[in-house]
Amino acid sequence: MVRIRIQKSSIHQFTEQILDEQGKPTGVTKEVLQADVSFPDFPDTPTYSVRIDLPIDKTKILNELKNLALKAKEQYDKDMSIRQTVEDMGYLSFMVEI
């Protein structure tokens, strides 16, 4: 289990163009929900943005958030590893001559 927080004021509904394979507008639009998501259980990770095509339902939102949580956990694990490497090298606090 992982805690997920969505900032209410970050929830927006947008109309956006559907693009073809070459990245050109097709003239067709779709409605999209966008929200900023954070993961309190993974401190010091960025706020993520999720985009979900409308119409939405609870299952669709939950599936997108689960996928995003997996990405956040992978990023957290990588960040913790590299932070430990830098700390082990002694580079969190030091002085250099200039």
Question: What is the Cα–Cα distance from 51 to 15, expressed in whole angstroms?
Answer: 12
Handedness of CA 64, 39, 14, 17 (dihedral sign): negative
pLDDT at site 92: 78
Q: Mean pLDDT, 10 residues at a time, over the chain (98 residues)?
A: 94 95 94 96 90 96 96 93 92 82
Give the residue extent of every domain in the chain.
Answer: 5-87
User: What is the pLDDT, as a whole number, of residue 26?
Assistant: 94
Residue 64: per-residue pLDDT: 96
Q: What is the pTM of this model?
A: 0.77
